[in-house]
């Protein structure tokens, strides 16, 4: 890489360096699990628990082919490992069923299914699917803040 950057000859393809090297997108995502077996003593509070997880997406176009690497970090360490498994937590994605952007259905996916979902959609739609991922991330945070608002209103 340093040789490519310092090369000043006419064979240097510096304008395409960013395309060849690629770009990286890091997202803080919100994951949820239901506490069905241990309901809250206060019935006004949600039975959902929420945890964060970082997801990184590296993408590059090399010789007219898009390459995607998706990095998924472990959940934040603020949950009880004896009561919960990482598989208990789900990420909510929106699946379109019509032509309009607001025609969608929500689906909570565990990590294994999310990886398969991302692989399938990226191979079908290419880099334009990254916009959909960003909307899902923002929508997940909106669900989280709406639940906090409802829990605060329920406190007496």
Q: At 61, is the pLDDT very low, low, confident or very high (cuts 50, 70, 90)?
A: confident
More confidently predicted of 34 and 43:
34
Mean pLDDT of 75-104: 74
Contact 76, 54 (CB under 8 A): no
Model confidence at 8, in pLDDT bands (50, 70, 90)? very low
Specify the pLDDT at position 39. 56
- pLDDT of 78 reads 65
| Phi-psi group of 6: left, alpha or beta (phi > 0 → left; psi -120 to 50 → alpha; rest → beta) | alpha
Is-contact 121 129, C-beta < 8 A? Answer: yes
Average pLDDT over residues 45-56: 81
Both tokens assigned to 119: 């692989």
Mean pLDDT of 34-61: 74
Report the pLDDT value the prediction gives residue 42, as an integer from 0 to 100.
59
DSSP alpha helices (H): ranges in the chain? 2-6, 17-21, 111-125, 129-154
**Average pLDDT, stretch 100-121?**
82
Reported pTM: 0.66
Whether the CB-CB separation of 136 and 94 falls below 8 Å is answered with: yes
pLDDT at 7: 43
Give the confidence band of 3 by pLDDT, cuts at 50, 70, 90: very low
The 10s digit of each residue's pLDDT in 65-89 is: 888 888 888 887 666 667 777 788 8
pLDDT at 126 over 50: yes
CB atoms within 10 A of CB 132: 19
């Amino acid at each position: 890489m340093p040789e490519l950057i310092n090369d000043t000859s006419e064979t240097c393809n510096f304008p395409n360096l960013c395309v060849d090297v690629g770009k990286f997108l890091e997202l803080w995502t919100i994951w949820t699990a239901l506490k069905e077996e241990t309901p809250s003593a206060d019935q006004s509070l949600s039975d959902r628990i929420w945890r964060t997880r970082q997801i990184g997406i590296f993408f590059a176009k090399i010789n007219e082919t898009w390459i995607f690497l998706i990095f998924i970090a472990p959940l934040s360490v603020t949950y009880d490992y004896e009561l919960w498994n990482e598989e208990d937590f789900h990420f909510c994605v929106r699946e379109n069923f019509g032509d309009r952007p607001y025609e969608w259905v929500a689906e909570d996916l565990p990590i294994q299914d999310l990886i398969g979902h991302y692989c399938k959609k990226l191979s079908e739609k290419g880099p334009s699917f990254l916009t959909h991922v960003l909307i899902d991330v923002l929508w997940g945070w909106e669900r989280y803040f709406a639940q906090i608002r409802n829990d605060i209103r329920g406190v007496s």
